[in-house]
């Protein structure tokens, strides 16, 4: 389970909101955002929303299950930047940090193979 905590401002200048969907690459090799749903209507997500006292902001807690196939983004909208996407959770990137860390650990041990003292220290730390 992955936990995302974020605050949005749904009204006025500089407003933003959350969307669930995926990126699709078109024939010209451009990434296009395809919206599927909003988090609070997505049945596989556990969502808690708390509105501020005056209703100007919303504090979100979104719990994403393992193997969730869609991307969660925060859409920022203002007059200067009509639609800017900030990726909060990506299913492809969620599985990569673990393998990237493992690869780095393997590489460190490869570099330290001739140095017994360093290898011993690495084993203690990791």
pLDDT digits (tens, 9 = 90+) for 82-94: 889 999 988 887 5
Domain of residue 106: give its range.
91-126
Q: pLDDT band at residue 47, thresholds of 50, 70 and 90? A: very high
Looking at the fold, whether 75 and 37 belong to one and the same domain comes out as: yes
Average pLDDT over residues 25-43: 90
Average pLDDT over residues 37-66: 91
Does the pLDDT value for residue 55 go beyond 70? Answer: yes
pLDDT digit string (tens) for 109-125? 888 888 888 888 888 88
Tokens of 34: 């395809």
What letter does residue 45 receive in the DSSP assignment? Answer: S
Looking at the fold, whether 8 and 56 belong to one and the same domain comes out as: yes
Q: Which residues pair with 49 in a beta bridge?
A: 60
- pLDDT of amino acid 109: 84
In CATH, what number is assigned to the domain containing residue 79? Answer: 2.60.40
**Which SS3 state, helix, strand or coil, does residue 112 take?**
coil
Report the run of H or E that residue 104 belongs to, with start and end: helix 91-111
Looking at the fold, whether 18 and 39 belong to one and the same domain comes out as: yes
Looking at the fold, whether 46 and 27 belong to one and the same domain comes out as: yes
Looking at the fold, whether 53 and 74 belong to one and the same domain comes out as: yes
CA 126 to the chain's CA centroid:
26
**Which SS3 state, helix, strand or coil, does residue 90 take?**
coil
Using CB atoms within 10 Å of the CB of residue 23, give its burial: 0 to 12 exposed, 13 to 18 middle, 19+ buried: middle
CA distance 38 to 47: 11
CA distance 53 to 112: 56
What is the average pLDDT value for the chain, to the nearest integer? Answer: 86
- pLDDT of amino acid 117: 86
Does the pLDDT value for residue 7 go beyond 60? Answer: yes
């Amino acid at each position: 389970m992955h936990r995302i905590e974020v605050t949005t401002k749904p009204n006025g200048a500089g407003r933003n909101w959350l969307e669930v969907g995926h990126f699709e690459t078109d024939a010209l090799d451009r990434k296009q955002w395809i919206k599927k749903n909003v988090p609070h209507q997505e049945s596989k997500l556990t969502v808690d929303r708390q509105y501020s006292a005056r209703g100007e902001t919303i504090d979100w807690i979104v719990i994403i299950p393992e193997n969730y196939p869609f991307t969660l983004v925060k859409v920022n909208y203002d007059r200067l930047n009509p639609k800017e996407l900030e990726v909060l959770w990506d299913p492809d990137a969620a599985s990569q940090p673990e393998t990237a860390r493992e690869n780095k650990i393997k590489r460190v041990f490869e570099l330290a193979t001739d140095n017994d003292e360093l290898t011993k220290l690495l084993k203690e730390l990791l």
